[in-house]
Amino acid sequence: MIINGLIDLPWWGYVLVALGLTHVTIAGVTIFLHRHQAHRALDLHPIPSHFFRFWLWFTTGMVTKEWAAIHRKHHAKCETPEDPHSPQVLGIDKVMWEGAELYRKEGKNAATLEKYGHGTPDDWVERNVYSKHTTLGIGLQLILNVVLFGPIGLSIWAVQMAWIPIFAAGVINGIGHYWGYRNFAADDASRNIVPWGILIGGEELHNNHHAYASSARLSSKWYEFDIGWAYIRIMEMLGLAKVKKLAPKVRMEFGKSHVDLATLHAVITHRYDVLARYARSLKATWTEEAHKLRIDRESVKRWLHSDEQQLPHQDRVRLNELLANSKVLATVHSMRQELAQVWQRSTASKEQLVKHLEDWCHRAERSGIVPLQEFSRQLRSYA
């Protein structure tokens, strides 16, 4: 009986056990490593904090300081050659299938740990057990799985070992910057993979996270679901967590006819939402112009809504040719670039920025491009 394990279950019972154990690991990654340690979006009571730290050592061997430092560097250097795991730089296949290796490689970079690893646990247990013996927990987990479930415990252990490298390091860091939908026009290629963040703890809502990195809640739209946020709210009600930061909600004051300081603050705060609404508002315009010029509309979209300096040389040449042949697209493109200057002009005073934004709205309304005129009126409504 011992050979078969102390616990005897039907086949579906072992499946549920494997899914349950991996889900606890995912919860530890998204709540403890990501939202608590890397971004300080919430405080955790010592009980869940140390439980997650132990569990992640026991099931993955991940070192808190290394994970937090690598993730912070990812945000600081996103989509550049210094990004530890950008599919835009390294290729989707590399990040998708070798994401865990990229983490291990960057974890050995002392400069990364020194610059980005501040504020992570540094107690006796961390120094002498978790960081020093990263494979010990994994070995103990294997032994326990076999004792409890017998030979099938090896399969459960294998699933646990593969879950984070495939879904967190591969899917989130790879597909999350390559394919999906965008609520916000963040300064990177981040995407929401699906609206329901369950399988990977809410991390599926990756574009939302990059727009408001310090928010404890990753869902944004009414139809999106972040199971990690549900767990945080339960812990908060039990006194085991305290939320520190949430993404600000967009408020509109429709009928407003002028730009003031409140408008400026709202536009800067919600700049990624502003650019996303701009893209949606002008979609029909650039689609129509692309059709007239017989150019692939997806290429036009990418050229118009990207930083021109980040485009490959060939795309920049084609963009300039396109703008030279379409006065409408030239206006749409230049107006977007000028709008972004509102939050990029760090040396301008608040009064100058208000005047710049008001002037932008006047020129948009005189452009003769109906969607641009309508967007201008919407822009004044940010409150």
CA 300 to chain centre: 25
Q: Residue 352: left (phi > 0), alpha (psi -120 to 50), or beta?
A: alpha
pTM here is 0.89
Model confidence at 1, pLDDT cuts 50, 70, 90, reads very low
Type of residue numbered 216: A
Burial of 16 (0-12, 13-18, 19+ CB in 10 A): exposed
Q: How many residues does the chain have?
A: 383
Residue 297 pLDDT > 90: no
What pLDDT shows up at residue 325? Answer: 86
354-381 mean pLDDT? 93
What pLDDT shows up at residue 358? Answer: 94
pLDDT per residue as tens digits for the range 36-81 = 999 999 999 999 999 999 999 999 999 999 999 999 999 999 999 9
CA-CA distance, 204 to 201, in Å (whole number)?
Answer: 8
What pLDDT shows up at residue 307? Answer: 66
Those residues with Cβ within 8 angstroms of residue 92's Cβ, 6 or more apart along the chain or in another chain: 174, 175, 178
Please provide the average confidence, as pLDDT, over all residues in the chain: 91
pLDDT per residue as tens digits for the range 203-254 = 999 999 999 999 999 999 999 999 999 999 999 999 999 999 999 999 998 8
295-312 mean pLDDT? 70
Residue 103 pLDDT > 70: yes
What pLDDT shows up at residue 270? Answer: 93
314-321 mean pLDDT? 80
What pLDDT shows up at residue 306? Answer: 67
Domain boundaries, the chain: 11-243, 261-379
What pLDDT shows up at residue 257? Answer: 82
What pLDDT shows up at residue 212? Answer: 96
What pLDDT shows up at residue 277? Answer: 92
Q: Which residue has the tokens 């394919």?
A: 179
